[in-house]
Amino acid sequence: MSANRLDQIAQATQTAFLFPGQGSQKVGMLAELAEQFSGIQATFTEASDAVGLDLWKIAQSGEGLDQTENTQPVLLTTSIALWRLWLDLGGLAPKYLAGHSLGEYSALVAGNALSLADAVKLVRLRGQLMQTAVPQGEGAMAAILGLDDAKVVELCRLASQAGNGSVDAANYNAKGQVVIAGTAALVQAVMLQAKEQSGKAIALPVSVPSHCALMKPAAEKFAEALEQTAIELPCIPVIQNVNAAAATDVMQLRSALTAQLYQSVQWTKTMQYLQDQGIQYVVECGPGNVLANLAKRLPNIEKAFPIDTQSRIEDALNAILVAEGKIA
């Protein structure tokens, strides 16, 4: 979608679009919508041509879908297919964009900061670098529930001091929900300590420990690719993961994308920022409803809509138009 096309659409004043990250993928995603709207397949063809892979086949068959280097371009393409469909159906452009981890790249494509072709190349490389940064089985991630953020950070610090390797708070997803990542043995140690302190700990089925110090070597290599990629400031502000703020220049934007590989995803602060800006409605632009469900917990978010099926996108289109006063 061109910048001019976006500029012609009245931006919704109380709505933000959220783009999910890795873990939201599912076999057969968007199959129903693709039968009704040819633009879905067209977007997948455009992205597939850029990376030399049949991304639609991967999405529908599931073959190789959970390999990080495939997951990331497939998920990004899924989100952009939905974004384009939303606009084609007359949906309002939002006031803000934000994406969780990988989803930040989807948000940047939606805001015309990155082309789809460049973005799928970047995230495929990102996935490859992440996969090779830590040997299979040596890294792990886990969700820690029911403890204060500061307590989780302290447990990570103590485990890192006592063991070989490191473990960090990777994703601040919501109050009382922090994902940790790092050396497998140290992740296990923090999980045990969390349970002993009346928290809950759930191991996550991932092959890569994202957003932790172990990803610094990958970030250094990825920065080179970012420097060679054409990037502009988005025409709709994108709230970035590492600082819960919108970049004011391209250098800052690139720096935040590099740091995102090894620093925490500040999703709790991102959602608080959106609330502080008067956002009352959010649309999750990708498969599933993980981010929509997190948003529903927040006091100032009146409605949160997933849009990955025809009925869901129709409901969201109408509800946002009514909420923004465009139709009675």
Catalytic residues, by residue number, are 101, 211
First to last CA, the chain: 28
- With a CB cutoff of 8 Å and minimum separation 6, the contacts of 29 are 59, 78, 287, 308
Dist. CA 30–CA 51, nearest whole Å: 20
Give the residue from 81, 102, 117 showing the smallest Cα distance to 19: 102
